[in-house]
């Protein structure tokens, strides 16, 4: 199996001000191709540190792929450092100069002369086109190794990887015949330790597979990798282990690979011709944000009312004042009336309502931080209300509440 090394450059990554999502994306994509990722380096905008990462990567791996540091400024050093380690000189590529000038002309801006460094490449390199920004990438084969440079902004990097780099990997590493196959099975409900316990028999008898668990935003992702004699055999092993995991996890499985919980719910709503309305209190519109991140959600999402105050619950949702006086804003009764109220006002087929105490303040002896009520209502006059007790910081509680509400609707659909 071919080995790969991933390098992420940027001082902002070292300071923690930016999350390195590029490494995660590249690890998943390379592993899915059948390349084994053996190392990941994160380095700041320092020439010697970048040189060291490339030197180590080229010594240990067949493929070194880096993101970041391809811009026009003085601290964009990735290409220069990589070419130094590979022993390649660079020259100005006139075609790239023209492309850069056209990019700025379309935006009615003068091109700074500093941007010319983005048009410098080794003569033997393949230039990877950037369909979104100014920084082209580079694909270089040297001494039986492959060195790839991609831009840092995730949208640019992902598009360039998928459209430009991955087809070249498949060609140069003969990856059409894969010895491995992978899939991520996504579950919601049980925690990581519970999933680990539930899958104990599968883990102890993997039958040609490996399993890894990743807890992420209230979900558990089960990464399954199968290794066989050829593509077909690997896929057969993967399907078999998937069926075993599904048999154990059952209703907790909500999707696979790139699926999101909001996307899955959206497909179920769209496929059944149903619509959804929301009434949010403690989540403050977070659930609506998750839903509207999905393209085409306007086809099934009526909208949301963020009713944070008691007054808004009464005026906008029709919650009875006596309900609030007797039971409080965070109660089973209030959640149910919020769900009914938004359902009636919207005319939607389903509604979800969330009210709770996200903290760090606001708790009482009877109502601690993390207490959340989630209600789902439909046109058949059914109302389902769940009492949840979440732990963690404020954002974690809000996130768990929103995802649990989505999962409640998923199961109904």
pLDDT > 80? residue 176: no
The correct answer on CATH 1.20.5.510 for the domain covering 3-172 is no
- Residue 353: the pLDDT is 98
Asked if residues 127 and 93 have their Cβ atoms less than 8 Å apart, the reply is yes
Where along the chain do the CATH 3.90.950.20 domains lie? 261-412
Concatenating the DSSP letter of every residue in 82-107 gives HHHHHT---EE-HHHHHHHHHHHHHT
Where along the chain do the CATH 3.30.70.2860 domains lie? 180-256
d(CA 126, CA 118): 14
The mean pLDDT value for 268-283 works out to 98
pLDDT > 80? residue 180: no
CATH number of the domain located at residue range(s) 180-256 in this protein:
3.30.70.2860
Strand, coil or helix: 178 = coil
d(CA 7, CA 23): 8
CA distances, 71 to each of 68, 203, 210, 385 (Å): 8, 45, 39, 52
Confidence at 47, pLDDT banded by 50, 70, 90: very high
d(CA 399, CA 91): 50
Confidence at 173, pLDDT banded by 50, 70, 90: confident
Where along the chain do the CATH 3.40.980.10 domains lie? 3-172
The mean pLDDT value for 219-223 works out to 95
pLDDT > 90? residue 208: no
CATH number of the domain located at residue range(s) 261-412 in this protein:
3.90.950.20
Helix residue ranges per DSSP H, 318-390: 321-327, 332-346
- Residue 231: the pLDDT is 79
Exposed/middle/buried for 122, CB within 10 Å: 0-12, 13-18, 19+? buried
Backbone phi and psi for residue 398, each to the nearest 5 degrees, phi listed first: -65, -40
Q: Which residue shows structure tokens 């899955």? A: 264
pTM: 0.74
Share of the chain above pLDDT 90, in %: 83
CA distances, 329 to each of 43, 377, 381 (Å): 49, 18, 22
Confidence at 1, pLDDT banded by 50, 70, 90: confident
- Residue 177: the pLDDT is 58
- Residue 133: the pLDDT is 87
- Residue 202: the pLDDT is 93
d(CA 310, CA 312): 5
CB atoms within 10 A of CB 116: 15
- Average pLDDT of the chain is 94
- Residue 271: the pLDDT is 97
The DSSP letter of residue 110 is P
Which structure tokens are listed for 161? Answer: 């990887």
d(CA 353, CA 255): 24
The mean pLDDT value for 147-162 works out to 96
């Amino acid at each position: 199996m071919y080995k790969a090394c991933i390098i992420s450059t940027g001082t902002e990554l070292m300071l923690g001000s930016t999350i390195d999502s590029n490494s995660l994306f590249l690890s998943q994509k390379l592993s899915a191709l059948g390349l084994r990722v053996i190392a990941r380096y994160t380095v700041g905008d320092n020439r010697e540190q970048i040189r060291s990462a490339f030197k180590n990567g080229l010594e240990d791996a067949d493929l070194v792929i880096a993101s970041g540091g391809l811009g026009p400024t003085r601290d964009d050093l990735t290409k220069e450092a990589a070419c130094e380690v590979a022993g390649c000189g660079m020259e100005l590529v006139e075609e790239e100069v023209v492309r850069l000038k056209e990019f700025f002309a379309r935006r009615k801006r003068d091109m700074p002369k500093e941007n010319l460094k983005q048009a410098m490449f080794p003569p033997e390199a393949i230039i990877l086109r950037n369909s979104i920004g100014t920084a082209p990438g580079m694909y270089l084969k040297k001494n039986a190794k492959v060195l790839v440079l991609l831009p840092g902004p995730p949208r640019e990097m992902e598009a360039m990887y998928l459209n430009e780099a991955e087809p070249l990997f498949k060609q140069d590493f003969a990856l059409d015949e894969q010895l491995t196959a992978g899939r991520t099975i996504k579950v919601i409900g049980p925690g990581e330790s519970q999933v680990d316990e539930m899958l104990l028999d599968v883990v102890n008898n993997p039958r040609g597979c490996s399993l890894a668990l990743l807890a992420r935003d209230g979900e558990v992702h089960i990464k399954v990798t199968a290794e066989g004699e050829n593509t077909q055999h690997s896929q057969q092993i993967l399907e078999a282990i998937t069926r075993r995991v599904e048999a154990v996890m059952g209703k907790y499985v909500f999707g696979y690979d790139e699926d999101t919980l909001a996307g899955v719910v959206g497909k179920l709503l769209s496929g059944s011709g149903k619509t959804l309305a929301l009434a949010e209190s403690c989540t403050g519109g977070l659930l609506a944000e998750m839903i509207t991140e999905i393209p085409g959600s306007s086809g099934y999402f009526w909208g949301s009312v963020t009713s944070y105050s008691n007054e808004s619950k009464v005026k906008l949702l029709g919650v009875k004042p006596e309900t609030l006086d007797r039971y409080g804003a965070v109660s089973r009764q209030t959640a149910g009336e919020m769900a009914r109220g938004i359902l009636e006002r919207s005319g939607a087929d389903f509604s979800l309502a969330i009210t709770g105490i996200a903290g760090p303040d606001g708790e009482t002896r009877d109502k601690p931080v993390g207490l959340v009520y989630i209600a789902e209502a439909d046109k058949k006059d059914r109302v389902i209300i769940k009492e949840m007790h979440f732990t963690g910081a404020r954002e974690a509680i809000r996130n768990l509440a929103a995802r649990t509400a989505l999962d409640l609707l998923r199961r109904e659909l």
